Amino acid sequence: MARPRRPEDLAAQLTETIAPRAKSLIITVYGDAVLPHGGSLWLGSLIDLMGLFGMSERIIRTSVFRLCKDDWLTNTQIGRRSFYRVTDSGKERFAAAERRIYAPLAREWDRGWDLLMVPPNALDAETRDALRRELTWQGFGTASATVYAHPNCDEAAMHRSLAELGVADRIVHMKASLDRQEGFGALRDLVRGCWDIDQLEHDYAVFLDHFRPVWVAVDAADTPDPAVCFVLRTLLIHDFRRILLRDPMLPPDLLPADWPGQESRMLTRNLYRRLAAPSEAFLMQAATTANGPLPDAQPAFHGRFGGLETIPVG
């Protein structure tokens, strides 16, 4: 029987295979690792952390500049050092994503739907495209050119997005419930028209191919290197987030048999729990804020995936 590959070899391979963009990966690092510790980081620490993924100082400086322009980060200069903190707007966006990424495995559906209806000629082309992109990011499907649907949306995030786009008073939000008398056949057909289920299924299958070997390798390692654990944890959440935030989280009745989404979430939960402690130890040692070392993680961090310490691993 072949021995499991080393975690450090898999980390290098996945970094090359996933090939994350610097700006997007910095968002992952801040949302997953920095925000639970207060949301601020010295630029030098960020450069060192991103260097673990083979990214140059130049691309990191360019990326944080763009993230400031996009209102994700804000810069504070103390002497010759720059410290980057998550903005209030960034915190709201991170919170909306966090509620989906780190949710417990179990989820319930009350068979309700949220429908957003766009009256004809209510929006100009640019605003309409921006609305479509934002709602797609939140998992809404396009039922028609003027109707978006979601079986279990984050209403707070949805209303905030409509307000930020300045269209809250031009969009009709309605609630609907599923009539099961006719079964699920027609609804399954509608779902395939609203969401690219085949692409999601393929992406989840690729995700499982990427990270199943990581679980085997980490599970077999007595003391995996903390820096490698940080890299693997970051790539895990980065790749999972990329798929999950396009997933409307449809109930099982509406999905194909052997849907890989739930299995992907289970693997992510188990692997994250295994990587959390060593990666946190590395982060606390490697990162610096304007006030010194990172503060301890907020209690909500330990509640991710239903609790990082509730199920023994190994």
Domain that holds residue 18: 1-106+197-313
Domain-located, residue 50:
yes
Q: pLDDT of 242-256, one tens digit each?
A: 998 888 888 777 787
Q: Which helix (H) or strand (E) holds 23?
A: helix 22-29
Domain-located, residue 190:
no
CA angle 208, 210, 212 (to 5 degrees): 60
More confident residue, 247 or 204: 204
122 and 162 share one domain: yes
User: Mapped to the 3 state alphabet, what secondary structure does 192-242 carry?
Assistant: HHHCCHHHHHHHHHHHHHHHHHHHHHHHHCCCCCHHHHHHHHHHHHHHHHH
Token look-up 């944080």 returns 64
Share of the chain above pLDDT 70, in %: 94
202 and 287 share one domain: yes
CATH number of the CATH domain containing 133: 3.30.70
52 and 117 share one domain: no
More confident residue, 257 or 229: 229
Looking at residues 261-275, what average pLDDT do you find?
Answer: 94
77 and 220 share one domain: yes
Cβ neighbours of residue 200 closer than 8 Å, sequence gap 6 or more: 243, 246, 247, 261
Domain-located, residue 184:
no
219 and 86 share one domain: yes
Looking at residues 236-245, what average pLDDT do you find?
Answer: 93
Q: How many domains does the chain have?
A: 2
Burial of 130 (0-12, 13-18, 19+ CB in 10 A): middle
Centroid of chain to Cα 106: 18
171 and 50 share one domain: no
Q: Where residue 186 falls among pLDDT bands split at 50, 70, 90?
A: confident
Beta bridge partners of 148: 116, 142
pLDDT in the model for residue 195: 83
Length of the chain: 314
Reduced to 3 states (helix: H, G, I; strand: E, B; else coil), residue 174 is: strand
pLDDT in the model for residue 163: 92
170 and 212 share one domain: no
pLDDT in the model for residue 70: 94
Domain-located, residue 128:
yes
The residue from 121, 144, 177 where one domain ends is 177
Q: pLDDT of 146-180, one tens digit each?
A: 899 988 788 888 898 899 899 999 999 999 887 76
Q: Where residue 312 falls among pLDDT bands split at 50, 70, 90?
A: very low
127 and 270 share one domain: no
Domain-located, residue 189:
no
Q: pLDDT of 69-88, one tens digit each?
A: 999 999 999 999 999 999 99
Domain-located, residue 6:
yes
123 and 209 share one domain: no
With residues binned 3-state (H G I as helix, E B as strand, rest as coil), the percentages for the chain, rounded to 5, are 55, 10, 30
CA angle 230, 70, 134 (to 5 degrees): 90
Which phi and psi (to 5°) does residue 132 adopt?
A: -60, -45
Beta bridge partners of 85: 40, 74
The residue from 177, 208, 233 where one domain ends is 177
Looking at residues 193-209, what average pLDDT do you find?
Answer: 91
Domain-located, residue 75:
yes
Alpha-carbon gap, residue 196 to 173, rounded angstroms: 23
Taking alpha carbons only, the member of 226, 267, 209 closest to residue 7 is 226
**For the chain, how big is the Rg over CA atoms in Å?**
21
Beta bridge partners of 117: 147, 172
Q: Where residue 311 falls among pLDDT bands split at 50, 70, 90?
A: very low
227 and 84 share one domain: yes
pLDDT in the model for residue 178: 74
173 and 213 share one domain: no
Whole-prediction pTM value? 0.85
CATH number of the CATH domain containing 239: 1.10.10.10
97 and 239 share one domain: yes
Domain-located, residue 13:
yes
